[in-house]
Amino acid sequence: GDSVTQMEGPVTLSEEAFLTINCTYTATGYPSLFWYVQYPGEGLQLLLKATKADDKGSNKGFEATYRKETTSFHLEKGSVQVSDSAVYFCALGHRGSNYKLTFGKGTLLTVNP
Amino acid sequence: GAGVSQSPSNKVTEKGKDVELRCDPISGHTALYWYRQSLGQGLEFLIYFQGNSAPDKSGLPSDRFSAERTGGSVSTLTIQRTQQEDSAVYLCAVGRAAYNEQFFGPGTRLTVL
């Protein structure tokens, strides 16, 4: 079955540091890939997505590129802010399976001023 | 999450009791998903509803779990004879058919003593 593996946390960075959170997946066919974010005390929100190989999703300064050759969808941001502190989840879904999502375990990011 | 409310926000129950969790989405979102977020298992898909089609129950962990969706709107997740391992945050999400973005509710935190 499908699976998503993302780097273990927690990740602690200083403000303005560069962020990478690794995500790799195992899936049949051509899934859509997602990053969801959960801010403290809030619900899950879609951060960005990509639906086919080589697509780049971007939002709020975050980017991730769908790499089929390496089955990866790493999340990056050039300069993190304290407000980016949250838990980040990588996920995949198939159109043929009604986009029910398979999630990674989540990575807790803490950004210090 | 915008457009999805869940109740109660917190539920504490005793082992062996039945519980009902409610999801109330805004109209126009024909797809409805239930997920469970627990410390041990992360985020897991439970069940999916789409219009009048038969629900996809492939993620339900046991026959103690059931769900229904009335009138294509409100959904109720029922857990019978609760066990301590059922303790988790239960999340409801909605989306539109053919779209791959899901909007999550704030969740119900269930604690089984």
Q: Cβ contact (<8 Å) for B1 and A101?
A: no
- pLDDT at position B69 is 93
Q: How far apart are CA B82 and CA A10, in angstroms?
A: 32
pLDDT tens column, A50-84: 999 999 999 999 999 999 999 999 999 999 999 99
The residue with greater pLDDT, A8 or B113, is B113
Longest Cα pair distance anywhere in chain B, in angstroms?
41
- pLDDT at position A9 is 87
Which site among B4, B94, B100 would you substitute to test the A interface, given the most A Cβ atoms closer than 10 Å to its Cβ? B100
Q: Cβ contact (<8 Å) for B107 and A102?
A: no
- pLDDT at position B2 is 57
Closest CA to B37 of A103, A33, A88, A32: A103
Distance of CA A104 to the CA centre of its chain: 9
> Is pLDDT of B73 > 90?
no
Which of A23-27, B50-54, B84-88 shows the lowest mean pLDDT across its residues? B50-54
Q: Which residues of A touch B103 (CB under 8 A)?
A: 46
Closest CA to A62 of A51, A50, A78, A46: A78
Q: Cβ contact (<8 Å) for B56 and A105?
A: no
> Is pLDDT of A45 > 90?
yes
Terminal-residue alpha carbon distance, chain A: 41
Which of A20-29, A93-102, B52-61 shows the lowest mean pLDDT across its residues? A93-102
CB A11 within 8 A of CB A20: no
Q: How far is CA B98 from CA A35, A94, A95, B59, in A?
A: 19, 11, 8, 21
pLDDT tens column, B20-53: 999 998 777 788 999 999 987 889 999 999 888 8
- pLDDT at position B1 is 47
